[in-house]
Structure 1
Amino acid sequence: MPGAGLSAAARAALLQRLTRRGGASAPEAAAESPGRDLSTLPGLRDIEMVREAGAALGLESPYFRPHDGVAGAHSVIGGRDCVNFASYNYIGLNGDPRVAAAAKAAIDRHGVSASASRLASGERPVHGELEAALAANYEAEACLAFVSGHATNVTVIGHLLGARDLILHDQLIHNSVAEGARLSGARRIAFPHNDWRAAERELAAHRARHGRALIVIEGHYSMDGDVPDLGRFAEMARRHDALLMVDEAHGLGVLGATGRGSFEQCGVEPGAVDIWMGTLSKTLSGCGGYIAARRPLIELLRHSAPGFVYSVGLAPPLAAASLESLRVMQAEPERVARLQGNAALFLALAREAGFDTGASAGLGIVPVILGSSVAAARMAAALFEAGVNVQPILFPVVPERAARLRFFLSSEHTEEDILRTVAALVAARDGLRAG
């Protein structure tokens, strides 16, 4: 085991360095004036700290590994086939011949790029077809597709809300929502994870002093794999004259009997949510984001949202791939059933083996919480050696006590893949304890 020869004192010191921001020695200063010295950029010390800690442990960085071919339930990394749990290819459509054929046909018809903003240079028919299909999934009046999922939240939230407004969001909300809220200038309040009662207390206490209020939650949280009580949040929004926005990045294709998302999973009418946001890069095998909502909101965004008006339109082959993926998902709900079955099996076996899987619902995402960044990094390295690719999530992305491995399941994983992986987890844990 790399780094196993470290003494207990050395390991404790290393953990302290790994978990204390700014604890690493600063990179050697460049021979530049202070205003031009890029070695003092904020955050650079933290990156160097993590690099030094990994080197001291003898651990290779698990990030930015090149995958040779389609990264699905299996992937080839460094010439070696691995069981892969680091992909959002939930129902196995990235690499599906029908999806690839749709993308190639769009290239033949429209070329690779939209070249400019859709407002400036015009639409491609596939843009409207994709947006109509997504709107239908949410029973919404209209939909608008953006070139980036992250930018969708940033530009939409940043554009819709202002300094007189209020934004309440789950404390585990995605960075893109937090960045959009910061850009808007609205008052921002984070409530404890999935605690609708705490959210309502905050809303009741502050609503009267603000113009508009927006509640933002995720339909399926990517760190914990859990699902909010969507009905409670919808009722709360109505009672307090607030808008409800749900980020479905990890919900579409994962939640509900046919993969329509969190409203199907929770038995809530989709119209109870004012703004549906999602991404095209996961279940839908493309790249970009979308907003599905009532028509006046979509018309406003289409003509004035900076991330749409001043950005290149979604590439036609990506729009075509996402549209075909959505059609396959709707025609083959058995893919969603296989995904959910695999996730439930993995969750049950991991818990039976004594691992902390938090509040995961076992629908597509299962964390294995180890409570130590060093332990998570070592476990990930041991698993990779055993032919299992899974990413560690370390401090400061999560609190040190919540450091974890994060498993993204796919409909294409086999029972053998899952049994092998849990056995490798147990072996890695036992090896660490022995070491």
Structure 2
Amino acid sequence: MTSKSSPGLGASMKDKLIQQALERRQRQTGDGAPPASLADVSRHARAVPEQFYRFDQHPGYQQLRIMHDGAARFGLANPFFKLHESLAGAETTIQGQRFVNFASYNYLGYSGHPVVAEAAKAAIDHYGTSVSASRLVSGDRPIHRELEAELARLYEVDDAVTFVSGHATNVTTIGYLFGPRDLVIHDELIHNSVLQGIQLSGARRLSFAHNDVEALDRLLGDQRQHFERVLVVLEGIYSMDGDYPDLPRFVELKNRHKVFLMVDEAHSLGVMGANGKGIREHFGLAGKDVDIWMGTLSKTLASCGGYIAGESALVEHLKFMAPGFLYSVGMPASVAAAALAAVRCMAHDAERVATLQARGQQFLALAREAGLDTGTSTGLAVIPVITGSSVKATQLSSALAKRGINAQPILHPAVPEKAARVRFFVSCLHTPEQIAQTVAIVAQELQKL
């Protein structure tokens, strides 16, 4: 029968042909189950609940709708996805209005820095806007290798590898290197990307109380002998709280229990240490004291992506085998060039680092004097003002926006409800006057709530 005649098939003939096809498939699979009739298939389909085949019925979306509807009842506008119309540095423009901006990771002001911008432009002119395939297939560009060599020098380790996403860097590194016979232990406040990587790996996951070295020691004493590889994951600066671990004590545990130690420096690079070299410089540690140094290119380094730095065996292994590197397109040369320029600028910009640290300390000191709850923040670029409820955090953020300050609320479930907050990211480009005025306004508006 030709395709031209098929539109003329009667309904009964169509049903018969479909039933025959189902029976043939059943015989080929050899599972012994009786062939399903069209009526059975139709009946089973009708029994499937809507939430299993409609996105608007997905539980996650339903929860999102509840949150939006609840905010609307309180007269609160959505504080997220604001449309910035200019460079987002210490100041930004949103819908034509100028704001003092505390919602940017541009810690050293390199996003928009003329040297960094020019490097990205030159790379586009020379290499185009994409490398158009994975680096294994399309090959490297010199700029890739220069960036990775600079990162390795920064950490005083053998080598480094860059990825096109900071989140994916953690997911694919942990997800690939560890497996069901292994254990990954992390600080209870660790980033989502680490949790996703552990889930992908199939390794056992345990957490310990925030920055509690003794708790980790006890956990390793109880659990180390039951697993092959054990990884401990910390952050350099915790992005929600603005504090940091006593890294030398964790290094001592790593050596004593014979485990791997990984430090996520997303928020500590450029922020800690006299020269911005991160938590390693802050504590005077050697690069080899930590097995896996991880960081992002999107914050201090004013670009996009992530990196892993460490010994040659680690980096070579990831380059050839980690799915998030192997099967992802290579980093555009312009993105690598921007990060490379920022790394090289930072090597000579100790003054910017010192200014950033001074501005953060000023914000923290003034906030504490005003009676604001800043939690455990150390004043190193990340400073929360804890409000105690998601509604109050959203209200405070909205009130600040009306007074020309852009600072985002952090709501449940990103943090516990009682720990809801407005989070402030400080830049070296903020002036002392901007910080003093901001803290005063925060105190005023919080008092009204």
Alpha-carbon distance in structure 1 between the residues aligned to 2:262 and 2:151:
16
Residue 9 of structure 1: aligned partner: none
Q: 2:7 is matched with which residue?
A: none
SS at match of 1:331: coil
Of 42, 61, 65, the match for 2:78:
61
Q: Does structure 1 residue 167 correspond to structure 2 residue 184?
A: yes
Equivalent of 1:346 in 348, 363, 379: 363
The equivalent of 2:143 in structure 1 is 126
AA aligned to 1:102 is: A
For residues 313 and 84 of structure 1, the distance between their equivalents in structure 2, rounded to whole angstroms, comes to 32
Does 2:270 correspond to 1:253? Answer: yes
Describe the superposition over 1:98-132 as per-residue Cα deviations: whole angstroms up to 9, x where unpaired: 10000000000000111110001100100000000
Deviations 1:150-209 (A, max 9, x none): 000000000000100010000100000000001101111011111111011111101001
Among 377, 394, 403, the residue aligned to 1:377:
394
The structural deviation recorded for 1:32 is 9.2
What residue is the counterpart of 2:110 in the other structure?
93
Count of matched residue positions in the alignment of Structure 1 and Structure 2: 402
Measure the CA separation in 1 of the matches of 2:131 and 2:352: 32
Residue 53 of structure 1, CA deviation: 1.5
Instruction: Kindly provide the CA deviation profile for residues 307-354 of structure 1, in whole angstroms up to 9, marking residues without a partner as x.
Output: 000000111101000000111111111111010000000000000000
| 8 A Cα contact 2:52 2:58, kept in partner | no
Q: Distance in 2 between matches of 1:151 and 1:322?
A: 18
1:148 pairs with 153, 160, 165, which one? 165
* Paired position in structure 2 for 1:264: 281
Between the aligned partners of 1:55 and 1:328, the Cα distance in structure 2 is: 46
Letter in 2 for 1:393: I
Alignment RMSD, CA only? 1.1
> What CA deviation, in whole Å up to 9, does each residue of 1:10-59 have, x standing for no partner?
xxxxxxxxxxxxxxxxxxxxx99554221221311221111112111111
2: CA distance between counterparts of 1:142 and 1:223? 30
In the alignment, is the contact (CA less than 8 A) between 2:134 and 2:326 conserved in 1?
yes
Q: What amino acid maps onto 1:170 in structure 2?
A: D
Q: Distance in 2 between matches of 1:32 and 1:106?
A: 53
Partner of 1:136: 153
Query: Which of structure 1's runs of 4+ aligned residues deviate more than 6 A?
Result: none
Give the corresponding residue for 1:239. Answer: 256
Relative to 1, partners in 2 of residues 1:431 and 1:34: Cα closer, same or farther, differing over 3 Å? closer
Q: CA deviation at 1:85?
A: 0.3
| Structure 1 residue 428, shift from structure 2 partner | 0.5
Asked whether the equivalents of residues 232 and 260 of structure 2 are also in contact (C-alpha less than 8 Å), the reply is: yes
One of 49, 60, 64 as aligned partner of 1:47: 64
Structure 1: 5+ residue runs without aligned partners? 1-30
Distance in 2 of aligned mates of 1:200 and 1:52: 45
2:413 aligned residue? 396
- In structure 2, C-alpha distance between the alignment counterparts of 1:373 and 1:34, rounded to whole Å: 28
- The equivalent of 2:92 in structure 1 is 75
Q: Deviations over 1:218-254 (max 9, x none)?
A: 0110000001010011110110110000000001100
Q: Under a length normalisation based on structure 1, what TM-score does the superposition of the two structures give? A: 0.91
Q: Deviations over 1:392-416 (max 9, x none)?
A: 0011110011010110000000011
What is the distance in 2 between the residues matched to 1:110 and 1:256? 35
Residue 358 of structure 1 aligns with which residue? 375
Q: 1:283 aligns with which of 285, 289, 300?
A: 300
The separation in 1 between residues aligned to 2:296 and 2:306, in whole angstroms, is: 4
Letter matched to residue 218 of structure 1: E
Q: Larger radius of gyration, structure 1 or 2?
A: 2
| Candidates 209, 220, 238, aligned match of 2:226 | 209
